[in-house]
Amino acid sequence: MAGEKILIVEDTEDVREALQTSLTDAGYTVRWAVDGPTALRTFYEVQPDLVVLDVLLPGQSGFEVCERIRAMSTVPVVMFSAVGSEREKLWAFERGADDYVVKGTSMNELLARIAAGLRRAKSPTPVTPISTYADGVVSIDFATSTVTIRGKHADLTPTEYKLLTMLVRNKGKPVPAERLLHGVWGREYDTEELVKWHIGHLRQKVEEDPAQPRLIITRRGFGYVYADQSASELKAA
């Protein structure tokens, strides 16, 4: 997918230069910024196809920049940070990041994650005879990719939307974490923790009590199940 525009937001010069060289050699058009405010200005100007975003930045944190980007765009955001704690990753995903790569990961893996993010962003919506879904709690308009929960608009990230629709299309049946991982992120990914983290944030938005989920259920050893609601209805296009 060479030729796409990548925005690197990184304040450490040697890391930034290594990223720029590798991405340029891979055929991408690269722009960069060293702080949050400059990153947002460059984002407006360049309209990149993907953002590689450090967490610890002067001016604004990478989390704040990610949140600002997500408020106006669905462009993939790959957080790239020396901090690899689960707390930091959850914080990033909560603000709309699509992926989180810890510094020290091989450049080949980072390039593979970037390529996968670009493919996901450009992949067409699957052709389906179903245009809407409603079960009394969750309503989905597949044509407009909009979701309402208990009558209120749900502000889902693109990743959360893909997870929810994949589960809904398999309503009542357990979907293995590996299948969700490959279906949403791609076969380059082998970290099922990505699914766990994003399911957790999806539950925060769709469950009345996320600590005791009733819509998205974990079936240990089998995967995740979207619970079959009693008043379910699928409408044909």
Q: Is the pLDDT assigned to residue 212 strictly greater than 80?
A: yes
Quick: pLDDT tens for 70-127.
888 889 999 999 888 888 888 888 888 889 999 999 999 999 999 988 987 776 555 4
Q: Do domains 5-122 and 130-236 have the same CATH topology?
A: no
Least confident of 6-15, 33-42, 79-88: 79-88
**Phi/psi at 171 (5° precision):** -50, 130
Q: Is the pLDDT assigned to residue 175 strictly greater than 90?
A: yes
Quick: pLDDT tens for 48-80.
999 999 999 988 899 999 999 988 888 999 999
Q: 130-236 has which fold?
A: Arc Repressor Mutant, subunit A (1.10.10)
Residue ranges covered by each domain of the chain:
5-122, 130-236
Work out the percent of the chain whose per-residue pLDDT is above 90: 56
What CATH code would you report for 5-122?
3.40.50.2300
Residue 147: both structure tokens together:
């979701």
The pLDDT value given to residue 155: 87
Categorize the per-residue pLDDT at 45 as very low, low, confident or very high, splitting at 50, 70 and 90: very high
CA atoms in the 13 A half-sphere facing the CB of 209: 3
